[in-house]
């Protein structure tokens, strides 16, 4: 249809133009023509015949621009028409179509529970995770003019494309202090808008907020504890008074809601942030908030952690070590030159790495607890796990599954150089200690095209020494990071700690750097409080990596994930250089579940007052159709915030239910089995 139209148009137009060219001759005709066409036909025809030869030639000259115009106009008009029709369409039509196809949709949990008669009771506090909170500019350099109070992070990210290096400059922090660089102030957005949508259409908290609103919540009973997720937890208080604000707002909400205690909903890194907060608020004034030792029991009903990386995330290591996660590694394998020259012209990854390495908060997610938790050279808590087994989800297949997968993945070796190393028994690996290796300053060309990453200080010798150590466990990986990024880790170790406490009463554990590590702090004295850990399961999640030396020149990051390393068959845990295990695509089950399954269960030394803990797992199933968007049964790290089952649980808790009312634990994974294997003194 359209092709036909287009042809006609171009020819017709060429004719007009031709007609215009012969304007003088035709002028009379044109006038008379308007009055009466038929009478003048003969005359006209003669002239036309004479011209017909010329026409053929002139057609081509004009067709291009005119047909372009015609085409654009056509498209625009059709577009507007469609848009108009779309707007005219009643709002219920898409829903109607869906219902016709898939049967009636279930009510959103908010509507369903409202019908059950639930109403708003406990005030709710959201603690967003890393990356999901918006950041806006309050003061910037010349290049960021006109961006005052515009979002640099979140929203459309328009500025990344318009002025990438300016953007990276403003998003970076000072490499020494971990605070603002001089002349730049980037601050978190406040209010519910801070993290309801990450980008237009990509919800984070919005679905949950909308459902809570159904049972009567509004801004006076909901609070978004937005903080600058780039800086270390204690620094959010030092710079922005973020912890004081949370304290004051919780106190206000409890007071104005008739003394009903708050329900806290931390997500992702917010979980660690809130652990930090609970210690901070009860600690005495200069370092802490001075709320007194019963603050938590007075103000908090329940902490409902969603996808919390209590014990860290292996992904964080890949990010810090080589600015790669699996997604990036795959992109690199497919198009090697792509990432290196797209946004910043060159060295995208190095720019990104330089930026992310100034963000102290990333270090809060380095795996904690060392080999005790994550496994050593020859064992790991998850060993024997096969991805296929969970899918069948029945007890009978378990035995066969274990037998067939005799390969026995060594998840404990979080980074290995080469696939053979990853699979070899530990006795056969020759490890050379890298710690003493001299960093060859002379070899490295520091002026390396402006971008500074600490790798340039390392030199070739240092890189080789790292590779020759071959295998790194959760313990030695911290040494590795200290070797390759000493400045970053110097900042990090002032704010975070990754060990296990021997004696929790040691006064040194009163320092704030231990507050966000559940293995080095006690839970507060609040026996009525409840702690939930809600997370998705059933998605392959990064757990260990196979690395190789980067073949490029010295200006590049010298290590990269070996994407050629593939497992023996489709079901294997090894894909593209990454060993995967059960989890929510970002955080492995071990990290989200262990503390609630064992570390804090009952009265332990980490939980001296016996706060009740519950595990609620949500099995992932992908969205049934496109209209569901990111799915109402998703278990993925962020998409789980739209999971109806989870939302229902959250609403019930907010409306007053206890863990028992939700029927206690809900477990699909092997978390309890795995936890048993971990020998942690309790």
| Interface with other proteins (CB under 8 A) | 7-9, 11-13, 15-17, 19-20, 29-30, 33, 37-38, 40-42, 44-45, 49, 52, 66, 68-77, 91, 138-139, 145-146, 148-149, 185, 187, 190-193, 196, 209-210, 213-214, 218-220, 240-241, 244-245, 248-249, 251-252, 255-256
Cβ atoms within 10 Å of 431's Cβ, excluding its own:
14
Q: How far apart are CA 328 and CA 318, in angstroms?
A: 10
Between 247 and 598, whose beta carbon lies closer to other proteins?
247
Between 259 and 337, whose beta carbon lies closer to other proteins?
259
What is the closest distance, in whole angstroms, from the C-beta atom of residue 295 to other proteins in the complex? 16
Task: Write a three-state SS string for 379-400.
Answer: CCCCCCCCHHHHHHCCCCHHHH
Start-to-end CA span in the chain (Å): 75
Q: How many residues are recorded in the chain?
A: 682
Between 121 and 368, whose beta carbon lies closer to other proteins?
121
User: How far out from the chain centre does Cα 568 lie?
Assistant: 30
Residue 298, token pair as written in the block? 């007075």
Residue 12, token pair as written in the block? 């017709």
Element (H, E) at 534: strand 530-537
What is the closest distance, in whole angstroms, from the C-beta atom of residue 206 to other proteins in the complex? 8
Between 42 and 679, whose beta carbon lies closer to other proteins?
42
Residue 271, token pair as written in the block? 């979980």
Distances (CA, A) of 470 to 421, 434, 465, 501: 7, 10, 9, 29
Between 226 and 349, whose beta carbon lies closer to other proteins?
226
Between 210 and 330, whose beta carbon lies closer to other proteins?
210
The active-site residue out of 267, 276, 495, 637 is: 637
Mapped onto helix, strand or coil, the DSSP state of residue 314 is helix
Between 99 and 661, whose beta carbon lies closer to other proteins?
99
What is the closest distance, in whole angstroms, from the C-beta atom of residue 40 to other proteins in the complex? 8
Between 252 and 399, whose beta carbon lies closer to other proteins?
252
What is the closest distance, in whole angstroms, from the C-beta atom of residue 144 to other proteins in the complex? 12
Residues 6+ apart with CB under 8 A from 138: 148, 149, 185, 186, 187
Q: How far apart are CA 541 and CA 452, in angstroms?
A: 31
Residue 637 annotated in active site: yes
Between 21 and 371, whose beta carbon lies closer to other proteins?
21
Cβ atoms within 10 Å of 75's Cβ, excluding its own:
11
Mapped onto helix, strand or coil, the DSSP state of residue 291 is coil
The active-site residue out of 228, 584, 639, 665 is: 584
Residues 6+ apart with CB under 8 A from 153: 131, 133, 134, 135, 171, 186
Mapped onto helix, strand or coil, the DSSP state of residue 266 is strand
Q: How far apart are CA 286 and CA 18, in angstroms?
A: 87
* Beta bridge partner(s), residue 560: 548
What is the closest distance, in whole angstroms, from the C-beta atom of residue 388 to other proteins in the complex? 42
Element (H, E) at 484: helix 476-484
What is the closest distance, in whole angstroms, from the C-beta atom of residue 249 to other proteins in the complex? 8
Q: What angle do CA 277, 282, 284 make, to 5 degrees?
A: 115
Residue 67 annotated in active site: no
Between 90 and 337, whose beta carbon lies closer to other proteins?
90
Distances (CA, A) of 233 to 205, 278, 363, 547: 21, 12, 11, 31
The active-site residue out of 63, 172, 221, 268 is: 268
Residue 305, token pair as written in the block? 């952690």
Between 128 and 540, whose beta carbon lies closer to other proteins?
128
Distances (CA, A) of 430 to 414, 469, 481: 17, 8, 21
Element (H, E) at 303: strand 300-306
Q: How far apart are CA 523 and CA 276, in angstroms?
A: 10
Residue 440, token pair as written in the block? 């060859």
Q: How far apart are CA 9 and CA 15, in angstroms?
A: 10
Strands 530-537 and 612-619: parallel
What is the closest distance, in whole angstroms, from the C-beta atom of residue 158 to other proteins in the complex? 12
What DSSP string describes 81-101? HHHHHHHHS-TTHHHHHHHHH
What is the closest distance, in whole angstroms, from the C-beta atom of residue 217 to other proteins in the complex? 8
Mapped onto helix, strand or coil, the DSSP state of residue 70 is helix
What is the closest distance, in whole angstroms, from the C-beta atom of residue 222 to other proteins in the complex? 10
Q: How far apart are CA 227 and CA 126, in angstroms?
A: 11
What is the closest distance, in whole angstroms, from the C-beta atom of residue 44 to other proteins in the complex? 6
Helix, strand, coil proportions of the chain in percent (round to 5)? 45, 10, 40
What is the closest distance, in whole angstroms, from the C-beta atom of residue 211 to other proteins in the complex? 10
Residue 584 annotated in active site: yes
List the catalytic residues.
Answer: 268, 584, 637
């Amino acid at each position: 249809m359209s092709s036909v139209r287009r042809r006609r148009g171009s020819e017709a137009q060429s004719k007009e133009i031709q007609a215009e060219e012969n304007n003088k001759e035709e002028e009379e005709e044109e006038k008379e023509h308007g009055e009466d066409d038929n009478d003048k036909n003969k005359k006209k025809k003669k002239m036309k015949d004479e011209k017909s030869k010329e026409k053929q030639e002139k057609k081509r000259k004009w067709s291009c621009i005119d047909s372009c115009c015609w085409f654009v106009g056509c498209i625009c008009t059709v577009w507007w028409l469609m848009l108009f029709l779309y707007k005219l369409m009643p709002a219920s039509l898409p829903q109607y179509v869906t219902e016709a196809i898939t049967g009636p949709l279930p009510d959103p949990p908010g509507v369903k529970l409202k019908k059950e008669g639930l109403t708003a009771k406990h005030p709710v506090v959201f603690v967003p995770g890393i990356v999901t909170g918006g950041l806006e500019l309050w003061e910037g350099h010349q290049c960021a003019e006109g961006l005052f109070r515009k979002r640099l992070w979140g929203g459309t990210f328009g500025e990344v494309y318009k002025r990438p290096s300016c953007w990276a400059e403003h998003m970076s922090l000072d490499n020494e202090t971990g605070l603002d660089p001089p002349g730049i102030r980037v601050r978190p957005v406040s209010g519910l808008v801070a993290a309801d949508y990450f980008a237009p259409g990509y919800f984070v908290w919005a679905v949950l907020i909308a459902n809570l609103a159904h049972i009567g919540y509004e801004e006076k009973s909901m609070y978004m504890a937005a903080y600058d997720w780039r800086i270390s937890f204690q620094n959010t208080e030092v710079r922005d008074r973020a912890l004081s604000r949370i304290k004051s707002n919780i106190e206000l909400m409890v007071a104005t809601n008739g003394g009903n205690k708050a329900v806290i909903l931390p997500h992702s890194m917010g979980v660690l942030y809130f652990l930090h907060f609970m210690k901070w608020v009860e600690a005495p004034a200069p370092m802490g908030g001075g709320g007194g030792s019963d603050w938590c029991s007075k103000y908090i009903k329940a902490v409902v952690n969603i996808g919390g990386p209590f014990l860290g995330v292996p992904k964080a290591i890949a990010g810090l070590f080589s600015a790669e996660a699996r997604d990036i590694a795959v992109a690199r394998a497919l198009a090697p030159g792509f990432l290196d020259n797209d946004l910043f012209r060159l060295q995208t990854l190095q720019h990104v790495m330089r930026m992310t390495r100034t963000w102290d908060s990333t270090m809060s997610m380095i795996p904690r607890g060392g080999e005790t938790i994550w496994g050593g050279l020859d064992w790991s808590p998850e060993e024997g796990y096969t991805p296929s087994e969970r899918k069948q989800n029945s007890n009978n297949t378990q035995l066969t599954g274990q037998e067939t997968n005799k390969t026995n993945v060594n998840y404990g070796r979080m980074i290995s150089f080469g696939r053979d190393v990853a699979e070899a028994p530990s006795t056969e690996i020759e490890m050379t200690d890298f710690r003493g290796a001299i960093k060859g300053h002379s070899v490295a060309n520091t002026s390396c095209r402006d971008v500074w990453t600490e790798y340039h200080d390392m030199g070739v010798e240092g890189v080789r020494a790292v590779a020759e150590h071959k295998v790194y466990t959760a313990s030695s990986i911290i040494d590795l990071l200290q070797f390759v990024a000493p400045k970053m880790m110097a900042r990090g170790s002032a704010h975070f700690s990754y060990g296990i406490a021997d004696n929790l009463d040691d006064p040194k554990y009163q320092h704030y750097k231990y507050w966000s590590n559940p293995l080095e702090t006690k839970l507060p004295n609040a026996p009525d409080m409840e702690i939930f850990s809600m997370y998705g399961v059933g998605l392959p999640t990064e757990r260990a990596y196979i690395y190789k030396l980067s073949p490029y020149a010295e200006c590049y990051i010298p290590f990269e994930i070996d994407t050629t390393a593939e497992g023996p068959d489709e079901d294997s845990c090894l894909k593209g250089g990454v060993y995967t295990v059960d989890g929510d695509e970002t955080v492995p089950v071990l990290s989200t579940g262990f503390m609630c399954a064992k570390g804090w269960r009952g009265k332990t030394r980490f939980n001296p007052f016996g706060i009740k803990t519950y595990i609620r797992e949500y099995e992932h199933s992908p969205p049934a159709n496109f209209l569901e968007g990111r799915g109402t049964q998703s278990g993925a790290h962020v998409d789980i915030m739209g999971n109806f089952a989870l939302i229902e649980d959250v609403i019930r808790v907010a409306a007053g239910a206890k863990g028992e009312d939700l029927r206690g634990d809900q477990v699909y994974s092997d978390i309890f089995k795995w936890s048993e294997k971990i020998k942690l003194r309790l």
